[in-house]
Amino acid sequence: MAPPRNAADLRSSNRPDRDRSPEIDPDVTGEELDKVTRAQLRILDSRNNEWVSKHLVMAGRLIDFVPELAFEHALAASRRGGRLACVREAVAMTAYAAGKYGEALRELRTFRRISGSNVHLPLMADCERGLGRPDRAIDLIKSEDAETLDTAGKVELAIVESGARGDLGDLDAALSALEIPQLDLNRAFSFSPRLFRAYGMVLRAADRKDEAKVWERQALVAEEALGVDEGIDQIIIDLGDDEEIPLESPRVRVADVMDPAVEPVKNDDAALAAAELTSADAQAGEADETNVDDAESSYFESDDAESDEDSTDEAESDEDSTDEFGAGEESGNDSDSER
């Protein structure tokens, strides 16, 4: 059954041959967004600001449950806010969650160009895997841009690299990619449960099941020690073993191992000011948005020529990425599951 459409959406883009924007829940106000995102959206006039804000909230609300519909909401936001990094990021994240790796990669490249941030480099490499191009994923992981990431980002890159090596059938290299200083049974950071599970998964693939059980058990211990707030890089010393914790744990896919990166909430005035655009940019942006509102989602193309090829290659590549290490299985139904 087709999702309900927004009856209030009367834009000229709603011709019979174009889908209308999805319905917004009545309780959504747009104020649910974090301060940095709201600061970026101030460039828009009040009508477009409200439109984009509400669709971004809906995208975030649905991404873990109905990623395809979340993607439609992000696209709706992009029709009026497609020049903003936070909007392009939302399109990328929802496309990734919906398994649209070509579109996700294109939008991630555009986000990087607009924002100057490499924070989503692991996700970009993962999209290359999803498109059946592990070699290109490894090239991206070994690029100079990777050196700009923080420790958590580099751990995520190691997890993706391990998957890419596994895609190429090299289990020894897949294990080696994860054998980094942060792979420590006795210390837990926010990324440790994902790292431990990824290592356990590769050990199982290499038929080293007893060793895999140790890391799978320790992933559960680390999760319990860290608690529910994984946004803080806590260090837990001497985690130890807990024989009461069951050995069984879900198979790890790409989404189990790598949380989608999001812009952190910043409360200081300097950070908020940095998120806002200049008045000259605002005038140019409003002029652009007049036409963007009526454009189809394919209007937004990356400056990178190869990005536009990715979407057309995606359908052909998905069939090649469904093995145990493949990215293609991870986010069709659950954006929180990793490869």
- In angstroms, what CA-CA distances link 116 with 30, 176, 274, 303, 316? 26, 31, 13, 14, 31
- Domains in the chain: boundaries: 35-258+267-318
State how far the Cα of 67 lies from the Cα of 100, in Å rounded to an integer.
10
pLDDT of residue 164: 98
Cβ atoms within 10 A of the Cβ of 3, count?
A: 14
Whole-structure pTM value: 0.68
The tokens of 35 are what?
A: 């301060």
Contact, 128 vs 314, CB < 8 A?
Answer: no
Assign 5 to helix, strand or coil: strand
What share of residues in the chain are helix, strand, coil (percent, to 5)?
Answer: 55, 0, 40
Distance CA 88, CA 104 (A): 10
pLDDT in tens, 237-280: 445 444 433 333 333 333 343 344 434 344 445 444 544 444 44
The pLDDT, as a whole number, for residue 144 is 96
Q: Which DSSP state fits 22?
A: B
User: What pLDDT score was predicted for residue 146?
Assistant: 97
Coil, helix or strand for 338? strand
DSSP per-residue string spanning 144-188: GGGGGS-HHHHHHHHHHHHHHHHHTT-HHHHHHHH-STT--TTEE
Q: Which of 75, 73, 43 is nearest to 57 (CA)?
A: 73
Q: CATH for 35-258+267-318?
A: 1.25.40.10
- CA nearest to 58, candidates 98, 8, 23, 93: 23
- Please enumerate in sequence order all residues whose Cβ is within 8 A of that of 278, keeping only pairs 6 or more positions apart, or say none: none
40, burial (CB in 10 Å: exposed 0-12, middle 13-18, buried 19+): buried
Closest CA to 3 of 19, 27, 26: 19
Tens-of-pLDDT digits for all 339 residues of the chain?
A: 555 555 555 444 445 555 789 999 999 999 999 999 999 999 999 999 999 999 999 999 999 999 999 999 999 999 999 999 999 999 999 999 999 999 999 999 999 999 999 999 999 999 999 999 999 999 999 999 999 999 999 999 999 999 999 999 999 999 999 999 999 999 999 999 999 999 999 999 999 999 999 999 999 999 999 984 444 444 444 454 444 333 333 333 333 433 444 343 444 454 445 444 444 444 444 444 343 333 344 444 444 445 555 544 554 544 444 344 445 434 333 434 344
pLDDT at residue 309, as a whole number: 55
